[in-house]
Every structure is written in C-alpha cells, then in structure tokens.
A and B are shown apart, each in its own frame.
Chain A
Amino acid sequence: MQVSRLNDLHAFTSSLPPLTASPPPLPPTPAATLETLKNFHNSSSSLSLKIASTAEKLQLLSSVVKKNSIFMDDSKKVNGMVDEIKRDLESIHQTMSSLDSTLSSARTSIPSSTRDHSIAILSTLKTTVTTTATEFKQVLLTRSSSLKTSSDRKKKFGRTGGLAERGKLQSLKTINLTQSTVSPSKLGVTHRGVGRVGEDGLVRPGIKSTKSIGGADEVVSVQYYNQTEGGGESGGHIMTPLEMQVMEEGEEQTQLLIPSGGEYLEQRAEAVSQIESSITELGGVFQKLAVMIGEHKELVERVEDNVEQAHGNVEGGMGQLMQTLEGLRSGRMLGIKITAVMVLFIIFFITFLA
C-alpha cells in the first residue's frame, strides 16, 4: 500500500502566505564539477546505447550460429558479424578506459560523492559489458565446436575412399542390398542422393551412412545397413520406404547447401582459424576486463552497518584510551601535589623544629 501525500503537502503549502523575502540563494554547484559530470553522463549514456546495440547484434549472431551449427553456408556473413561485434567490444573497451582515466584525472576537482556515483555507473556498465563479452565468447565457442565436429566427421567419413576400399564398399553394398527388400526403383531413388554428406542430423541409430569422396567426380557409395547392436530392432530390420524417403530428402537438402568438397573444406579451415584467432584476441580484452571487475568485489555484500560499527568501536576505544590517559594524568598530578605537600612539611619541620 503506497499512499501519496504530495497533494496534502501542496494543499498545505498553498495555504501558507506567499514568501515576503526571496529565499536565500542556493549555493551554486562548481561549474567544473557540473561540466565533468555532464561529459561523463553523456559518454556513459552513449556507451550504454552502444552496449545495447552490441547485445542486439550478438543475439542475432547467436541465432544464426545456432541455426547453422552444422551447415556453415553463410560463414561469410557470420564472420562479418563476428568482426563487427569484436570491433564494437574493442571500441566499448576503449571508451571505458578513457572514461576511467577521465575519472581518475578529475579525482581532485570533483567532490567525493559525485566521483563515487560516476564510478558506480561505470562499474555497472563494466559488468554489463563483461556479460555481453561472455555471451560472445560462448557463441564463438559454440561455433568453433560445431565446426570441429563437422570437420571431425569429415575426416572420419570423407577421405576413406581409396579405390580398393571402394570395391569393398561396393561389395558390402550389394550384400546389404540383397538383404533389403526395397524395390529396385526405390533403390534408384536412393542412389540419387549418393555422394553427399550424410551428416544431416537425420542419421539415426541403426543406420550408418558411409561415404567417400574419391576424386573429382565424387563417386561415392552409401550403404544402409542395420547395426546388430542397435537395440530391439536389430538384426533383420528392414528400412521402410518412408525412412528411405526421409533420408533422401535430407540428403537433397544437403546437396543444396554444400558447395563442392575442396572449396568447402578450405572455407571451413579458414573459419576455424579465424575463430581461434578472435578467441585469442578476446582473451586479451577479457584480461583487461577482469582487472577492472576485480576492483569491484564488494558487489555481493549486504548493505550492512559493519563499517559504521567498526567506526563506532574505534571511537569507543579512543574514548576509553583518552579516559585512561586522563586518569593517569590526574593520578600523576595527585602524586606531584602530595609530594609537594610532603616536601613543604619536611622543609617546615627542618627549618622550624630542628
């Protein structure tokens, strides 16, 4: 329940007589402070805008990367985006360090609260940047890992197509074909898809596609066979026409997406090396950021009165010490007085009674 009392206040103040004397002028704020603060606010707000736009770009990139985690058909586009974001992050970082240095150079000229306020803003921005950068790194990692997987697969299935082996595969295929009851016409359909990458995500357990790209004409054999260890449906499982069709469709998609083998591989290698280099570069940025963030460890703390308690304790201790000192002093004074009186008495005795 929040009850506004502003109307009560206004009703009351309007009932007051108008001011006879103009109120004392408010103490002006030093112009230098205002100027510094204004600059700071301007650049920090532009910075936060920049961070927001970078985050947006990053989101786009991450969606693109996720969509194409296996078929890097628009790797050029992705690379462009990565570059852009990297540049953005770098420029954000630069702006921030310049803001940092402005703040530290203006240390003496602006009051402490203002400085603390600005530092707080900056550190919040830094945290945001760090999260953004972390996300960026994540995206890059995802991309590189997906690239790696596909290149691994490539190695596994890609270069096995020696002539001798091809013969072996052919024979295997025939064996398998004799096992299957698929009609020849269906088989023909299947063979249209031959020679393409089988790694389309439609490769299901129990079906293994083997492919070899052997030379320019890409003569490849794909064979479907049932793994005996493939669980309940093992052994005499026969592929249904539907399954075949699905597979074939998948392969046709692949066909559309992938350029011819050599070029594709080169592109991929390039992309991988690019990503690796950008990760290394990012590493540097991160280190700098880590240093910045390290200065703001207090973020998890509670708003507690520990500091003030400690302060109070110290003050109390001081008071005690002062009291003790006072006591000592008065004790000493007393001692001196008593001694003086004694001395006087002795002198008195000596001079008058002796």
Chain B
Amino acid sequence: MSTSSLKSLQTSTLTTLLSTPTQPWKILIYDPHCRSIVSPLLTVSGLRSRGVTLHLALDSNRTGVPGVEVVYFVEANEENVKRIIQDIERNLYTADIHIFFPSKLPRPLLETLGRGLHSLNAVNRVKTLQDVYCDFRCQLDLFDLMVPESFNKSIGGTELEMEQFCSVVSSKLLSLLSVLQIIPIIRTPPNSCSSLIASQTSKLLKDHPITGPRVPLIICDRDLYPDGLWWHESCYLPLLYDVLSGSGEKVGGVDIGSGEFLREYGYKSFPDVVEGNSTVLKGIEASEARLRNAGEVSDLQSAVDDLPKLMDKKKEVESHTGLLQAAMEKIGERQIPMLVDLESRLSSCSDKVAKEVTDVLKSEEISLEDKLRLASIAGLHGFESSVVSSWFSLLPPSPCLDFVMQRRSLKMNVKPSPPTSSHGGDLLAAAGSVLGGVGAELVREAGRKVERLKGKGSMRDLTRAVSAVLEGGKEDHEWEYWDVKLKEPRVNDVRDRPGRSTKGGKVVVLMVGGGGFGEYGNLREGLGREWEVIYGGTEIKTAKKFLNDVTG
C-alpha cells in the first residue's frame, strides 16, 4: 500500500542513520520527540538487529559506557544541545559521537554546540553532525507532523504567531517531501492558512532542492472542512479509534502496528471485517490442522517451516477478533449504526431526515458527544436555518455550535452542492448471518446491531473538493496553484497552469489543524483505486479531541 511505502522509506532513513558508526554495537540516545518517530517503525529487536544495544532517553539519569560509539537522535533545541555538551563534559561515552537532528539545526544552536565543544577541546570527538529531515511520524498509514494544538494555532493568534506556526509546519512538510522524494505541485484553498504554508514551503524547497517525480500536494484547512473528523464511521480502523481509546499503534491496549489482516481489512466496512476475520481464522485453522497431521516426510519439513508463521498470523487475527468483540459492545451501546445511517442520509435534506435528527437529539440514550457531532454535521448541510436553530436549541449551549453556525453562514453563501450519492444500507441484511462464524455468541449478538454499518459512505465535502481539484472541477479553478519549479511559484492565471497529463497516481493530502482515520478512509474510497492517497495532518486526532479543540 501507498503509505506502507512511506513507512518503509522512513525506516530506511533511520537505518542509514543507525549504520553510520563504524563499530557493530552502538548506543542510541533520543528525546521523547524522536522516540515517537522511531517507535512506530522499529521494535526493540529491530534496533538490536541494527546493532543498537541500548536505547536511552536523553533526559534520563544515564551512566557511562566507555569505548562504545553513541548516536544522538534528538530534536534541535537548546536544552538538548546543552545536554549533549554535558554528556561530553562528564565523559560518559569515550568513543566517537554521532549527532543527528530530525530537522534543521538553527545557526545559533550550532554556535552554542560549537562553543561548548571548543571549550572542552572535543570538537574532533564529534564524527557526524547531520540534519536528517525526517521530522514526522507514521501512525499506521497516516503521517503525523506532530504540531500540538495545531487547530487553534491555524485559526487564531497574532500575525507573528501565525507566521511561526506556518514556518514550523512547512519545515516539517519539507521533511515529509524529502523522505517521500517527490516534488510537489501545491494546491490550497484561496487566502487561507494553507496558502501561507504553501508559500513558505516553496521558499524552503528552493533552498533544499529535492529530486523526484512531481506529485500533487493538497494542503487544506481543518476549519474549512470541520465535519471531516466528526462523522460516525462504518470502516473498521476509524471505528476502532473512535470507540476504543487508542493512540499511535495501540488501540485498546493491543498493538496493531503491522500485519496483513489490517492491511487488507483496515478500511472495509465492519460486518465485512467480522466476516473476513472468521474466514481467515478458519482458513488458518484448517491449514494448521493439515500441517499438524502431516505424515509424509516432505510435509514434515514444510510443517517445520510454516507452522511458526502460521501461528503468528493466527495470533494476529485472534487479537483482531478480540478487538472486534470489544468494539461491538461499544458500537451497540452508542447506537453508532443508527447514527451512521442517519448521517449518510443527511445530504437529501428532507423533512423526514430533519425529524429523525430532532428525535435523536431529544433521545436520552445518545451521549452528548455523539449528539454534538451529529448536530454539527447536520448543521453544515443545506437544511433551513430555522430547522438548524431548533436542533441547536435542544442541546446545551456550546462554543462548538457557535463555530458551526459561523461556518454555516460562510458556507451557505456558496451554493450547496447536490447530493453526490446515497448509501446502500440494506445491502447488509445478509452480513448478520455470516457473523456466526467467529463463534462467540457475543459477537453474533452485537453483529445484529451493526448490520446496518455496511452502508457505503458518500463522498464528503473534503473528498469532493479534492477530487474536483484533481480532476478539473470547480475547485480546480478556484484553488491556488503553486509550482516550485517556476521562478514565481504562485500561478494566478488558470491558463498558465500546465494541463494534467495523467489521471491517477500519487497524491499527498495534508490537513492543517489535524486529520483522522475516518477522513482518510473516505478519501481513499472517494478517489477510487487510481489514486494512491498519502494522507496525514499536523496532528492525528479523534472526533472527541477535535470537539474539545473547538470548544476551547
């Protein structure tokens, strides 16, 4: 898949970094920031196999290991630089020292480091000093630029703060582009925070030229498409992150970092996943039984080879079975299938749907968070203003609703787009019967509740906009166009833009203000197979976190 290649590219960057020392054994020292870059990519054994015997936190209380080379991989900030100088002063590591920064080391810090080393007469001890440009982390398929509180930074603050925010984001974006090895053609909504980022990124790219193919890079603002993170999802992975508390590679305390099952089923609808889980499990069990009963010598040989692999696979699938069961309970509790179904019908803007929304908002069984999400999404659709106000009056006043009202007034000036597609909610009556395969009564029980989850999501606003930009729709003319290869990167006149040569290929989408798994799922589905979507945000967050951000 696309972003597994992002993962492998980032991993190979880290591997080159770790193979710089001449000795086979070395010590890796990182700070929390760089640990979050390393941890999704390399396990402890992965580090071991690359010769890293110890991986230590820079700020921990370390004792020295004489005669062993040390690799520092830390964020470029003053405190870290001082720590490194302190280490040298204490003579903790007597062999060569290699220092790597994930982003550019600013000149003042370089001077601090130089002065410190000079005063200790240890300049020659440092054998490597590199800016690696890999300042982002992979979260499963998504990239995460690790800018905390990015939503509020992207919509408010003074000019200076905005400038700072944009320069941080663009330098991290440069890291992403350099790891992906692509030259971007940047598209952004007009006069937005994204277009500031685009201009800064173009400047950076002039100083740090990258070689590679040209790929459209769409930078978009969360506050223009706030609904993206609020939708209730029917796909497996987004649903997992929504209902079970999860961060990074761990959901509900289970490490789902890699594995074929997730790759295949991550963005399939929930009942499909349940079904797939049971068939895969059955298949594994069958081949396991076959191997175990193998009588022939040749079979025995293959059994010895295959059995461990098979057991690993089985373990992985079983962990997903556990997750599925846990998720189903929550899904039933929160009535998510009903919400998904209702949300997918919002685009019709009919009175019947409006009435249903009112009923749900009045209902006691739905949590306030889910109600807020539903009301906000519904508020951004083309219902009558009176209807929307009546919905909002049903809920306790919240800054979130004010925000939605404001967005709505902006959006309604633009003519609402016609409904794109409807769902296929009744497709899945059959799914429930298949659920039995997993065996657990619990699963079957909850399976009935999620039957309706199979509805195929319609294209949401962002997906529609992105596909219009890529395929020459309305937004293609409106959005800004930045070509870093030109002397003046910003192209104002539509006629000066080169025509599209191919349909399909890679496309990078960056959400300023935070992205989520659900949005990625909708983009993937909406753009179809010909586009390989590399998606991420200035941070990766859940609907809940985004509600909090908006609420302030």
Contacts and interface: CB of A to CB of B under 8 A. Distances in A.
Nearest to B28: A303
A289 interface: no
Contacts of A41: 67
Interface in B83-130: 89-91, 94, 104-105, 110-111, 113-115, 117-123, 126, 128-130
A303 B32 contact: no
A256 interface: no
A298 interface: yes
Nearest to A26: B91
B44 A16 contact: no
Interface in A119-170: 120-121, 123-124, 127, 138, 141-142, 145-146, 148-149
B43 A13 contact: no
Q: Please report whether the interface of chain A is mostly helix, strand, loop or mixed according to DSSP.
A: helix
Contacts, number: 153
Interface string A1-17: 11111101110110010
B16 A2 contact: yes
A34 interface: yes
A302 to B, nearest CB: 5
Contacts of B249: 302
Interface string B49-81: 100011111000011111110000000000000
Contact of B64 (A12, A23, A111, A305): A111
Nearest to B23: A41
Interface in B24-63: 25, 27, 32, 35, 38-40, 42-45, 47-49, 53-57, 62-63
B210 A1 contact: yes
B257 interface: yes
A272 B268 CA distance: 54
B118 A13 contact: yes
Contact of B119 (A23, A148, A308): A23
Interface string A287-308: 0000000000011111111001
Interface string B195-229: 00000000000001010000000000000000000
A3 B178 CA distance: 11
A304 B113 CA distance: 29
Contacts of B114: 9, 12-13, 16
B62 A113 contact: yes
Q: Which of B27, B67, B126, B255 has the most chain A CB atoms closer than 10 A to its own CB?
A: B67
Contacts of B44: 298-303
B384 interface: no
A2 B68 CA distance: 24
Contact of B66 (A13, A16, A114, A148): A114
B549 interface: no
Q: Which of B39, B54, B133 has the most chain A CB atoms closer than 10 A to its own CB?
A: B54
Chain A's interface size range is 35 or more
Chain B's interface size range is 35 or more
Contacts of B91: 26-29
Interface string B240-265: 00000000010000010100000000
Nearest to A16: B118
Interface stretch (B297-305, B327-335, B439-447): B297-305
Contacts of A4: 128-130
Nearest to B181: A1
B126 A9 contact: yes
A116 B300 contact: no
A117 B55 contact: no
A237 interface: no
B57 A23 contact: no
B213 to A, nearest CB: 16
Given A12-B110, A302-B255, A305-B32, A124 B48 contact: yes
Given A5-B110, A117-B53, A10 B210 contact: no
A304 B297 contact: no
A216 B349 CA distance: 99
Contacts of A308: 57
A97 interface: no
A300 B316 CA distance: 14
A112 B65 CA distance: 9
B132 interface: yes
Nearest to B115: A16
Contacts of A304: 39
Contact of B110 (A8, A16, A26, A305): A8
Given A9-B113, A23-B121, A120 B43 contact: no
Nearest to A142: B301
A33 interface: yes
7 contacts: A2-B16, A2-B130, A5-B105, A23-B120, A37-B65, A38-B67, A145-B297
The 8 closest A-B pairs by CB, nearest first: A120-B53, A1-B178, A111-B63, A299-B45, A26-B91, A12-B114, A113-B63, A29-B66
Given A1-B132, A3-B130, A142-B301, 16 more contacts: A2-B132, A3-B104, A3-B131, A5-B110, A9-B113, A9-B126, A37-B65, A113-B27, A113-B64, A121-B25, A123-B48, A124-B53, A300-B44, A300-B45, A302-B43, A305-B35
